[in-house]
Amino acid sequence: VALSKRLKRFSEYYHNDHSNIWDIGCDHGLLGLSFLNKPSVKQINLVDPSLPVVNNLKDSYITIPRINIIHSKGQDLTIPTPNQNSLFIAGMGGLEIKGILQKLRPQLGKEDRVFISPHRHVLEIREFLKDTDYRLVEEGVLEEDGHYYPYLYLSLNSQFQEISLYGKEMWSGVEGQKYRSYLIGHLSCHKNLASQGYLNHLKSLISPRID
């Protein structure tokens, strides 16, 4: 199956040394399955709390030894081998992702990486992250079919930068600039203080010229 632009981009955010992939909230499983062609990847964990999702995956993939299908919420997972894991949590709300990051934190090591792409409540999750020891390896946004998908690539290694409330690299590049314009329009009708602060910040950024 051909990957969407979104899942293809996400699948680039993994560490070559990592042998374990965790596709948390995997649904169709396509993101996790895209690692089947990587020889360094020894185990692909497809995780979802939905029984129909898990049963579908088992019908199709149970015979492939490197694939481990787990019926669980991300919050309840056990990660047995720290420092060998690339985790992906995409397509869920920010509050759900926050819960998963909080619960999994004690099981993760400095060499693990967590890629997240929240569909909603992005500001809330940044607010939470900036006061934790999760650090930012990279952040960005991609546009597909008129939708914007912000993402953060995280590590617990203190060599990386602290996570800012509003984001920095997020607003660079063509997609970042378009996302910023979109959000300025979108947040203008939000009256709460947090959104107003975010809006003022976005307006204050200098737009680079696009020639």
Ligand X SMILES: C[S@@+](CC[C@H](N)C(=O)[O-])C[C@H]1O[C@@H](n2cnc3c(N)ncnc32)[C@H](O)[C@@H]1O
Q: Of residues 172-201, which lie at the interface with ligand X (CB under 6 A)? A: none
Residue from 41, 44, 53, 183 that binds ligand X (CB under 6 A)?
53
CB of 194 to ligand X, least distance (A): 24
Closest CB to ligand X among 95 and 194?
A: 95
Q: Helices 122-129 and 94-104: crossing angle, nearest 10°?
A: 20
Extract the runs of DSSP E, i.e. beta strands, from the chain: 20-24, 43-48, 67-71, 85-93, 113-120, 135-144, 147-155
Q: Which of 209, 153, 148, 152 is nearest to 184 (CA)?
A: 148
CB of 185 to ligand X, least distance (A): 25
The radius of gyration computed from the CA coordinates of the chain, to the nearest angstrom, equals: 18
107 touches ligand X by CB under 6 A: no
Residue from 5, 40, 50, 200 that binds ligand X (CB under 6 A)?
50
CB atoms within 10 A of CB 40: 11
Tell me the window of 90-98, 107-115, 128-136, 156-164 that interacts with ligand X (CB under 6 A).
Answer: 90-98
Q: Which residues contact 191 (CB under 8 A, 6 or more apart)?
A: none
If you write DSSP's letter for every residue of 83-95 in order, what string do you get? TSEEEEEEEEEHH
Tell me the window of 45-53, 122-130, 156-164, 196-204 that interacts with ligand X (CB under 6 A).
Answer: 45-53
Which x/- pattern over 60-79 shows residues binding ligand X (rule: CB under 6 A)? Answer: -------------xxx----
d(CA 135, CA 132): 8
Tell me the window of 91-99, 128-136, 160-168, 198-206 that interacts with ligand X (CB under 6 A).
Answer: 91-99
Q: Where does this chain bind ligand X (CB under 6 A)?
A: 24-27, 31, 47-50, 53, 73-75, 90-92, 96
